[in-house]
Amino acid sequence: MFSPDTYVSRRAELKKRLGKGLVLLLGNDLVGMNYHDNEYEFRQDSTFLYYFGLRHDGLNAVIDIDNDRDILFGDELTIDAIVWTGNQPTLRELAAKAGVGDVRPSSELKPYLDRARAAASPIHYIPYYRADHELKLLSLLDLQPGGAVPSVPLIKAVVDMRNHKSAEEIAEIEKACTVTAMMHKAAMKAARPGMKEYEMRAIVEKVAMENGMRCSFPTIATVHGEILHNHSYDNTLESGQLFLLDAGAETPMGYAGDMSSTSPVDLRYTERQKVIYDLQQAASRAAVAMLRPGVPFREVHLQAARTIASGLKDLGIMKGDVDEAVVAGAHAMFFPTGLGHMMGLDVHDMENLGEVWVGYDGEPKSTMFGLKSLRLARPLEEGFVFTIEPGIYFMPELTALWKSEGQHKDFINYAEAEKWLGFGGVRNEEDYLITSGGHRRLGPGIPMTTEEVESLKYS
């Protein structure tokens, strides 16, 4: 945890921004996978972590603005629990680490909220993403199903605070990025024909675990990089294929790293692989060169898209005017994702609070295929941390559908595009911070150019 002062000052800042009422922050509870006592690994809610830092289940909190009080609600362990879990710090000891002196039993939470409602104090809460949070809200606030209305002022205040990373948060994210880079290097060195994707996953996740971290999201370790969120691990790595890894570490405090790499299963990239790989790299460099305060990330995304479209035109896969092709969205057959997303305590930071607030500052998102997947579009500000992850994918289903519909036939040469089906996909991903003068890559970086990756595989 950071020092208690960090959490005290974050809560004071939140109170100042909201001005009145109280904030109800629900911590996460343990959830049974298939029966009550066989639980998923516990992960605290990230907004709770941001304001209270405590990685323990069974806690809820109130930040009472009207009465200037921060209260932690929870229950001390009974001897029955201690028999199974061993002795643990008391709630009062935990609360002290978060700079909280007021600790009360869980049973006092509802009466506390009842009194606030009776006094017509606004009760602010964020959107829920777990069914048990909805049930808690309904019973704590006497609401009917569907009746919970998250507070927009709270969402905006939390997003603004969490979007601007402090120096100690950046140092923590950098720790995650350092281990994340080690995970990718281990995979690049290990990938060989005959290995199973699940063996690659084990190599990658071991690095996180042996560094006291865990994965910040389910690892993607696949020879089918064209399947964007591929969560099966059964394929055998074959000669001539590319292995795409999208994996990240999460520090014990909950801060994430998120990187992607695409390395040859053989020691060397084939000439065909190099062409697409180098184009993906060019898109990444074009994007990174633009990163500085004030630049709208939508423009950075579109620059990466134009770079990819231009390269694909050189290969005969796309045709026509590159700018017009990107405005029309034709490049999205090969680059259907967003260029990047905010990163912090969540790998897609605060996605539960709404992308429109986090990445668009309340402006509406495009509904166009491709652009609708762009999670970050707003002008960049000092302290923003986000990913840069352009990709080039040859997706059989999408190609067949668009061809049958005659989509973008002025910009896509389907006969040429079909020759690349079976190639898979290429994505590299790095994590960046916006500084006052420009940007800084977080972590030591991973081998990127074909030469760097090949020399690592030979070492």
Binding residues for ligand GLY (CB under 6 A):
217, 246, 258
217 binds, among ligand GLY, Mn ion, none (CB under 5 to 8 A by kind): ligand GLY
In the complex with ligand GLY, which residue's Cβ is closer, 163 or 261? 261
- The correct pick among 387, 399, 407, 428 for binding Mn ion (CB under 5 A) is 387
Stretch that binds Mn ion, among 13-21, 51-59, 255-263, 368-376 (CB under 5 A): 255-263
428 binds, among ligand GLY, Mn ion, none (CB under 5 to 8 A by kind): none
Tokens found for residue 140 = 């704590």
In whole angstroms, what is the distance from residue 363 CA to residue 300 CA?
A: 17
Min. distance of Cβ 259 from ligand GLY in angstroms? 8
Nearest CA among 224, 236, 229, 225 for reference residue 198 = 236
Min. distance of Cβ 428 from Mn ion in angstroms? 11
Min. distance of Cβ 366 from ligand GLY in angstroms? 19
Q: Which helix (H) or strand (E) holds 249?
A: strand 249-250
Stretch that binds Mn ion, among 16-24, 313-321, 327-335, 382-390 (CB under 5 A): 382-390
In the complex with ligand GLY, which residue's Cβ is closer, 246 or 355? 246
423 binds, among ligand GLY, Mn ion, none (CB under 5 to 8 A by kind): none
Tokens found for residue 182 = 């080690």
Q: Which helix (H) or strand (E) holds 387?
A: strand 385-388
Min. distance of Cβ 246 from ligand GLY in angstroms? 5
In the complex with ligand GLY, which residue's Cβ is closer, 45 or 246? 246
In the complex with Mn ion, which residue's Cβ is closer, 180 or 399? 180
In the complex with Mn ion, which residue's Cβ is closer, 199 or 351? 351
The CA-CA-CA angle for residues 246, 192, 280, to 5°, reads 40
Q: Which helix (H) or strand (E) holds 222?
A: strand 220-222
Exposed/middle/buried for residue 57 (C-beta within 10 Å: 0-12, 13-18, 19+)? middle
Token pair 């569907």 is at which residue?
A: 146
250 binds, among Mn ion, ligand GLY, none (CB under 5 to 8 A by kind): none
Min. distance of Cβ 180 from ligand GLY in angstroms? 10
Buried-state track 366-383, b at ≥16 Cβ within 10 A, e below 16: eeeebbebbbbbbebebb
Min. distance of Cβ 276 from Mn ion in angstroms? 20
Tokens found for residue 405 = 């519909």
Tokens found for residue 448 = 């990127």
Number of residues that bind Mn ion (CB under 5 A): 2
In whole angstroms, what is the distance from residue 264 CA to residue 270 CA?
A: 8
In whole angstroms, what is the distance from residue 440 CA to residue 164 CA?
A: 15
In the complex with Mn ion, which residue's Cβ is closer, 246 or 266? 246
In whole angstroms, what is the distance from residue 341 CA to residue 432 CA?
A: 10
- State the angle between helix axes of 197-210 and 167-190 in degrees (0 to 180), rounded to the nearest 10: 140
In the complex with ligand GLY, which residue's Cβ is closer, 95 or 221? 221
Stretch that binds Mn ion, among 161-169, 207-215, 314-322, 381-389 (CB under 5 A): 381-389
In the complex with ligand GLY, which residue's Cβ is closer, 246 or 430? 246
349 binds, among ligand GLY, Mn ion, none (CB under 5 to 8 A by kind): none
In whole angstroms, what is the distance from residue 341 CA to residue 358 CA?
A: 9
